[in-house]
Chains A and B, each alone.
Chain A
Amino acid sequence: MSDTLLLEAHGVAKTFGRVRAVRNVSLRLCEGQSLAIVGESGSGKSTLLSMLAGQLKPDVGSIRYLSQEGWVHLEALEERHRRKLARTEWGFVRQHAQATLRPRVSAGGHVGERLMGQGARHYGQIRARAQEWMARVEMDPSRVDDLPSTFSGGMQQRLQLISNLITHPRLVLLDEPTTGLDVSVQARLLDLLRGLQADLGLAMILVTHDLGVARLLADQVMVMLSGEVVEQGLTDQVFDDPQHAYTQQLVASIL
């Protein structure tokens, strides 16, 4: 883990009509570090994540990211540049793999899409790379030509994950990546994520309402309540000795 700052948000806020979805949030993330954002539904986690991904512009505040070419301010990023970063240096894994996978595009097509977007034009090589990555997340490489609907939920989520990782992103944002999967599949996926995180030196921001997932994957945790950060710190510290009443409630509510 290095101490190089990768992403920094300062005083970020977003309002939808009368709803103040996110208020005055600041955070710092270094290369290879991972941060979990926890909180109940409607607490502004996903809005914050969209802003960190550059998909949504904050009303106030600034977000900067250290790209290969130097610092960029996300709120002033040109669309062309944003798309390039989004398909090279960033990854975005959503809760529902099915919503991101196209029904008529095979596993190989999904995994290879980023390569083709970057100009890869060798069918055999693209397919081989896709198979390599499938093997890496314990998928059967011989199923490279199969359609997403033939894969189980857990496999679809892996597919979504590796279609993001194939370009070796430096920052991966995950929105409830294990929600909706059964417990054993969840455990395997979390294991894989941890392995990949270590192997690839990924920085991760993870939105979850599952404190177990946060504890397993994240070095730091941020607790949000109605758009505000109520507590922030090292994961073990926050969970072992919660200061804010809401965090105490959250930790106490784990079965």
Chain B
Amino acid sequence: MNPAQLEPPFAYLDSQTKRMIRRALLKAVAIPGHQVPFASREMPLPYGWGTGGIQVTASIIGPQDVLKVIDQGADDTTNAVNIRSFFQRTTGVATTTHTEEASIIQTRHRIPETPLRAGQTMVFQVPIPEPLRWIEPRAQEARRMHALRDYGPMQVKLYEDIAQHGEIATSYDYPVMVNRTYLMSPSPIPKFDNPKLHRSPALMLFGAGREKRVYALPPYTDVKSLDFDDVPFRIEQWNEACAICGATDHYLDELITDNKGTRAFVCSDTDACAKRQQS
């Protein structure tokens, strides 16, 4: 055996695998919102912990990149810390918690509050890439519905939300139409973040490891959240401000701070919160 092969490869995955994933990603970028199958690998962590996102990041990262990893908006949660140190060890790239400094941001559940700029890449960890999964359980039929843009049943789901709850109760993984063509799951981000997808200057890549699918939004792609003419799409709003930084325009998490049920609201995006405190 060639001793060079024993060297651990850059970013964990072997070069053939990275090529295969890049090919899938190129196709995904070429057809915005369309799910492209890829041969997802075993990763050294369980499904549901970001195997899809890690494989996407591993195949696009280079030595010059600066990586930021967030989980529920925070840089310091278990999943975020572990994935960040995984890439530090396997690539040696610089890491950061500052959104504006990062060239690649791998995320679970959030898009940073700081506006993204051209040249940045978001990598989303996706549990269920198929937006029609709960409406049409047969995968073959769901694919046919995509092919024929047969999206009436998705609208029926939103109709049911209003009929039964008085409003569109879907609050995360809120389905979007990409380029007025494909129905896409934005991954479990809150609907608060949906408007940030619309014509974003950053490249958005989505990886689902267990389901073996990647999809993408190239920069400046039209992304519209589904709604009704008389019940338009609306994002969450809070009456409170962040208890730490006082922001009123950030996505807030509700915390219970003692045994008496006292509540506080704090920013979910730790970087944006820290930045606001300093300024």
A→B interface (CB under 8 Å): 79-80, 83, 87, 104-106, 108-109, 112-114, 116-118, 121-127, 144-145
- Separation of A121 and B153 alpha carbons in the complex (Å): 12
Interface residues of B in 115-166 (CB under 8 A from A): 144, 148, 150-153, 155-156, 159-160, 162-164
Of B153, B162, B163, B231, the most chain A CB neighbours within 10 A belong to B163
Q: Are B159 and A126 in contact (CB under 8 A)?
A: yes
Tell me which residues across on chain B come within 8 A of A121, comparing CB atoms.
155, 227-229
Residues of A within 8 A of B258 (CB): none
Q: A123-B230, A123-B231, A145-B164 are in contact. Are A118 and B159 (CB under 8 A)?
A: no
Give Cα distance in the complex from A87 to B144, angstroms. 16
Pairwise interchain contact A106-B163, C-beta atoms closer than 8 A:
yes
Is B148's CB under 8 angstroms from A123's CB?
no
Give Cα A123–Cα B152 distance, bound, in whole angstroms: 13
Give the distance in Å from the alpha carbon of A113 to the alpha carbon of B153 in the complex.
Answer: 7
- Closest chain B residue, CB of each to CB of A122: B229
CA distance A145 to B162 in the complex (A): 10
List B contacts of A116 (CB < 8 A).
152, 155-156, 159
Given contacts A79-B144, A83-B150, A113-B152, contact A108 B229 (CB under 8 A): no
> Complex Cα distance A60/B149, Å?
31
Q: Which residues of A contact B160 (CB under 8 A)?
A: 104-106, 109
Residues from chain A with Cβ under 8 Å of B163 in the complex: 106, 108-109, 127, 144-145
Q: Could you jot down 8 A-B contacts, CB within 8 Å?
A: A106-B163, A106-B164, A109-B156, A122-B229, A122-B230, A126-B159, A144-B163, A145-B164
B-side residues, CB < 8 A to A, are: 144, 148, 150-153, 155-156, 159-160, 162-164, 227-231
Q: A113-B153, A145-B164 are in contact. List 15 more A-B contacts (CB 8 A).
A: A83-B148, A87-B152, A104-B160, A105-B160, A108-B159, A109-B156, A109-B160, A112-B159, A113-B152, A114-B152, A116-B152, A116-B155, A117-B152, A121-B227, A127-B163
Q: Shortest beta-carbon distance, A79 to chain B, in Å?
A: 7
B156 to chain A, nearest CB (A): 5
Residues of A within 8 A of B227 (CB): 121
Contact A118 B152 (CB under 8 A): yes
Closest to B150 in A: A83
CA distance in complex: A163, B151 (Å): 17
Contact B159 A117 (CB under 8 A): no
B164–A113 CB distance below 8 A: no
A residues less than 8 Å from B162 (CB atoms)? 123
Q: Kindly list chain B residues whose C-beta atoms are within 8 Å of the C-beta of A125.
A: 230
A109 touches B230 (CB 8 A): no
A204 and B59 alpha carbons, distance in the complex (Å): 58
CB distance from B190 to the nearest CB of A (A): 23
Residues of A within 8 A of B150 (CB): 83, 117
Flag if B228 contacts A109 (CB, 8 Å): no
Question: How far is the CB of A148 from the nearest CB of chain B, in Å?
Answer: 12
Q: How far is the CA of A67 from the CA of B249 in the complex (A)?
A: 54
Nearest-neighbour CB distance to chain B for A112, whole angstroms, equals: 6
Cα A121 to Cα B150 with chains together (Å): 15
For A120, give the chain B residue with the smallest CB separation.
Answer: B155
CA gap between A105 and B152 in the complex, in Å:
13
